[in-house]
Structure 1
Amino acid sequence: MLIETTINNRRMALAIDPDEYLVDTLRKAGFLSVKRGCDTGSCGLCTVWVEGKPVLSCSTLAVRMSGKKITTIEALQDEALEFARFMADEGAEQCGFCAPGFTMTVLAMKRELTNPTEEEIKHYLNGNLCRCTGYVSQLRAIKKYMGVEV
């Protein structure tokens, strides 16, 4: 089966299986920042944007992406680097495995929420798991990145 979609502002025709998940399609197309983690939509490693909204690619059928605009972290390098600096400054460095999906979620949150409360930030991040850090330093970094009082 062939679908046409836009990935990182580039029109692409992709051969997929009818039951293929988006994570597999993206990785086959060379977007290796999209990671396979839990395969249940629970960890956030596979987060990409579809039409500007965060989506778990491990639980999204690729066939549903026909005609849609998909964004991976490869298209957001400047924003991702800016956020990474906030993470490093707060001692919230990560091994890198969960970082792309986590960063995609944070960048989407920044676009969607203005001056969020700590509870709104935590709610938005629900489902993003990290095994390298405690979440306290990540939360401090996110608040500073979002311009929220710490």
Structure 2
Amino acid sequence: MGVTLPQLLSLLGSLLAGLAVIIVRLKAANRPTSLRKIIAPPLGMATGFLMFVVPDTRIPWLWGLAAFVVGAIFFAYPLIATSKFEVKDGQIFLKRSKIFIVIIVALLAVRVILHDVVDDYVTIPQSAGVFFLLAFGMLLPWRLAMWKGYAEVERRMAMPELESDRSARQA
């Protein structure tokens, strides 16, 4: 079975989007972070749910739930485990994690590898919906965990005496 133009465009779009995410992420690691920078991506990405207004993109609820759960378990967990914050010159930075690039590349590889398999069962618009839910399942728990970590670092910065007391007790 040959590759159609829509399939080729879908693959090219996925690769370009993945590359853009990696570039933006690498640039962002050199700048301080903020709560707004942490919560903006899931809010912005949530607008993607509007794709399901179009009947061609709709999938069974169970498929959508499964895609979200797979994203949350297999892709979000490594990001949550490796996303750490550090304070430099009184500002909070997200430490650059090489696993982020590995996860994005893995997500793209899963999409490319499963592309023909998925296309045997769903249409290209439905495939976009499944992979969107997989990616959102990765992003939302990761960003919620980042929010929690950022708030903790911010709290410690606001009360440095608590941190020095804790360090003294541990010694």
Shared fold by TM > 0.5? Answer: no
Bigger share in helix: 2
**Greater RCO, 1 or 2 (C-alpha within 8 Å, sep 6+):** 2
Bigger share in strand: 1
TM-score by length of 1: 0.31
TM-score by length of 2: 0.28
